[in-house]
Amino acid sequence: MTFVTKARAAAAVLAAAVMSSVCAQTAEEKIAALTGGKEARVGVAWIAGGRAHTAGNDGCYPLMSVFKLHGATALLRQMERSGTPVDTMIRIERRLMTEDTYTPMLERHEEDCFEISLDSLIHYSVSESDNNACDMIIAMAGGIEGVNAEMQAIGLTDFRLSETEGSMQADPVRSYNNCSTPLSVATLFRKLYEEDILGGPYAAMLKSALTSTVTGPDKIKAALAPGMTLAHKTGTGFTMPDGTKTADNDAGVITLPDGRRIYIAVLITDTRLGNKANAALIAEIAGTVIADEQRADK
């Protein structure tokens, strides 16, 4: 064997070893490599096949609009207990709403007073991330205290809620007060789909709203292959004077073509990456998780 032949053989062995090492990486290790060195703090959690996985799950990440899922769940639990129908009509007075905020609901209703159904209010808050709809839901649920009580009743832990959309708009720093571990968010989705925290039409309404989410097409949704579906809630933070964005989030349930579900939460905080890079990172993380779960089933 010539020196050149030996060198080529050694190179081939080294390449095979490198490939084997890459293939042997866990999804958690791959995600750590993706997020390492980034100008952001990234937390990821997913639950699949009865197993929970995390990367950067320590600490409390600002939820931003992801907490609209907590609020909607709380109100619907109360409505179910009281027997209030999902199509109950709700009167809204514009003078009590905040005009200078993200509110598709007010853009479509120019009247001083108007009525919409409960399911429409949930849709505005969850699917379209309307801030006025969110704060109405919180108020109807008994305030933030009422939302916290319902979350505690279903056994959710490792989260903290004390703010409304209105209070966060008034002082963006307060958005850090509504926070959670990624695993807690993924757990809330699992409870919605696998436990009886909501029944019948109330669960169906919330799942429909999550499936109809229009925000974040470049986040988790961008990682889906044909035949996969997503029900999710996004959250977008404030850009502070120094250019740091408080949060950029996406969380939900991915249903694979064979019916298996992945409950996933990707929460990014204190990021200086930029909106497109944040979204691309979330999509890449979701793609890594999907590939790992599909490979694990083979």
Contact 75, 141 (CB under 8 A): yes
Contact 54, 28 (CB under 8 A): yes
- Residue partners of 254: CB distance under 8 A and separation at least 6: 220, 224, 228, 229, 230, 261, 262, 264, 286, 290
Q: Which of 20, 21, 65, 82 is catalytic?
A: 65
Distance CA 1, CA 139 (A): 80
Distance CA 173, CA 177 (A): 8
Contact 281, 268 (CB under 8 A): yes
65 as an active site residue: the answer is yes
Catalytic residues: 65
